[in-house]
Amino acid sequence: MKTVRSVERAISVLMFIAENPIALGLSEISRNVGLDKATTLRLIATLEKEGLIRQEPHSRRYILGPSIASLINPLHTDIRRICKPHMEQLVQSTGETVCLMVRRGLEHVIAEAVSAQYELCMAPNVGSTAPIYAGASGKCFLAFLSDEEADQIIKATKLKAVTKDTITNPQSYRRQLIKVRRQGYAISQGEIHPGGAAVSAPIFDRSGQIVAAVDLRGPQLCLDRIKLNQLAPLVVKCADAISEDQGFGRQFSEAQ
């Protein structure tokens, strides 16, 4: 059966962008998919019109777009189903809001959430995004990627500030990643939302790749650094249980 060449080409462009952790320029895309720039630009324009890719306004480079979520979300159905009971248990034991964070290109997105029930709790919006490097969950993602991929993301994003408390110095950020990798969790205060705080732990698939993170969050007034570190072992335990349910056998050492 004959295939449609233009569709094949569009898919090759989309797949190349999806497989790379950094934003890509037109020349790089056209060179790697083996097409001239004019053809590549037409395919990009079509994919961009449908929201499957988007151009970053500051760099004019291309990343996955918002419509890709409609294709990605079904792939996260199993992990959401696995996570929900563990997340509900964590909310019951801590009284704080718990989110499931998944990666989408150079962002992380809330794929699932169980809200706390007290008045000052932070109410998360499923589907909301933040830069992949930002906050506790961002540090979890980068800490458990390869050093090469983490460095690519740091260079591509330049750790652009989300708030005044976002860590933007590459050296300081890399030191944070070493600490996160050692202790098995990350904490943040005000790095994505002013006045917000979080502790996050990684979730691994059967092959040992990080696929998501459990993020416990609340107002900074209630969650100072001492409290976040006290809650960390429960968050790590929740993330480990989810990883085990996905076939991952490794156990983190007790969170410090």
> Tens of pLDDT along 203-226?
998 888 899 999 999 999 889 999
d(CA 108, CA 104): 6
The pLDDT of 195-208, averaged and rounded, is 91
d(CA 69, CA 52): 9
pLDDT value, residue 3: 67
> Tens of pLDDT along 140-152?
999 999 999 999 9
Rounded mean pLDDT of the chain? 86
3-state secondary structure of 83: helix
Residue with tokens 């652009």: 160
Residue 70 has pLDDT above 70, yes or no: no
The pLDDT of 163-191, averaged and rounded, is 96
pLDDT value, residue 21: 58
Residue 171 has pLDDT above 90, yes or no: yes
Domain coordinates of the chain in residue numbers? 5-64, 71-245
Residue 250 has pLDDT above 50, yes or no: no
Fold of 71-245: Beta-Lactamase (3.30.450)
The pLDDT of 71-77, averaged and rounded, is 52
Torsion angle (degrees, nearest 10) of CA 131, 54, 16, 80? 50
Confidence of residue 255 (pLDDT cuts 50, 70, 90): very low
The more confidently predicted of residues 93 and 76 is 93
* CATH node for 5-64: 1.10.10.10
